[in-house]
Amino acid sequence: MQTDANTAPSPARIGFVAGARVAVGTPALVLAASYVGFGGFARDNGLGLDLVLFSTLTAWALPGQIVMIELYAAGAPLVAIALAVALANLRLAPMSTVIMPVIALEGRPAWRLYLAAHWVAVTGWALTMLHGPGRPRAERLAWFMGCVLTLWAGSLIGCILGHLAAGIFPRPLSLALVFLNPVYFMLLCLQDLRDRQRLLSVVMGGGICALLHPVLPGWSLLLAGLGGGTAGFLLARWLR
């Protein structure tokens, strides 16, 4: 970090502050709002605030966190939970691969990147991919950390507010709060359905889940994901 207090601020400090500044407005608010929904959803499924915060600190990837609660509430075995959460968060792998060359500084130990990878999630990733390449290389990892730690803090505050609100709100409002995450994900998914491969995967995944859920509630998510995704992938290639 800073080697001499009398010299100009280090690149790390400049990067960290600049990243935090980009995150602190709309991005942090939007993320906080979705975690308000998560806090309400989690409370509705019997989770205490401690667990909500624990999950957001350690996982911090909303679809997987919701899968975890959904399956746990359905009484699914832990193996099914682990596999389904992993499938729901698959997108993090290519995102992580793509962002590392942007924030890596040659000659620095790799553990720093493995640590930074914990905060790879959609919002911070998109902001870093947008702003990162325009910054000096020495600032980039710190820029990313400033950005994602700000978003992370916003998420935790959202969790607390949502969890509290679900206990205070009258029933119609708290149901609306619980419904916020499902509807938010549905619209995000709808927004993303540009190519045929995704569309087919979504249709197949939803269809398989609808058929399997009444018979195998603990495993329907996993089987619908693997089966529907593979079917969508192959069908789109075959149709081309």
Partner 1 sequence: MTWSPSEAYMAALIGALATYLWRGFGVAVGSRIDPQGRFFAWLSCVAYAVLAALILRLIAFPAGSLAELPATARIGAAVLAAVAFLLLRRNVFLGCVAGSGAIAVAASMP
By the rule CB under 8 A, 198 interacts with partner 1: yes
> By CB under 8 A, what part of segment 137-156 binds partner 1?
none
By the rule CB under 8 A, 22 interacts with partner 1: no
- The piece of 13-21, 58-66, 129-137, 151-159 that touches partner 1 (CB under 8 A) is 58-66
Binding partner 1 (rule: CB under 8 A), the pick from 59, 149, 160, 165 is 59
Q: How far is the CB of 9 from partner 1 (least distance, A)?
A: 28
> By CB under 8 A, what part of segment 106-125 binds partner 1?
110, 113-114, 117-118, 120
What is the 3-class SS of the chain, one letter each residue?
CCCCCCCCCCHHHHHHHHHHHHHCCHHHHHHHHHHHHHHHHHHHCCCCHHHHHHHHHHCCCHHHHHHHHHHHHCCCCHHHHHHHHHHHCCCHHHHHHHHHHHHCCCCCCCHHHHHHHHHCCHHHHHHHHHHHHHCCHHHHHHHHHHHHHHHHHHHHHHHHHHHHHHHHCCHHHHHHHHHHHHHHHHHHHHHCCCCHHHHHHHHHHHHHHHHHCCCCCCCHHHHHHHHHHHHHHHHHHHHC
By the rule CB under 8 A, 126 interacts with partner 1: no
Residue among 14 and 140 whose Cβ is closer to partner 1: 140
Q: Are 212 and 220 in contact (CB under 8 A)?
A: yes
> By CB under 8 A, what part of segment 164-183 binds partner 1?
171-183
Residue among 35 and 60 whose Cβ is closer to partner 1: 60
Binding partner 1 (rule: CB under 8 A), the pick from 1, 6, 101, 238 is 101
Q: How far is the CB of 54 from partner 1 (least distance, A)?
A: 6
The site that binds partner 1 (CB under 8 A) totals a number of residues, namely 100
Q: Are 85 and 64 in contact (CB under 8 A)?
A: yes
> By CB under 8 A, what part of segment 81-100 binds partner 1?
81-98, 100
Compose the 211-230 pattern: x for residues touching partner 1 by CB under 8 A, - for all others: --x---x--xxx-xxxxxxx
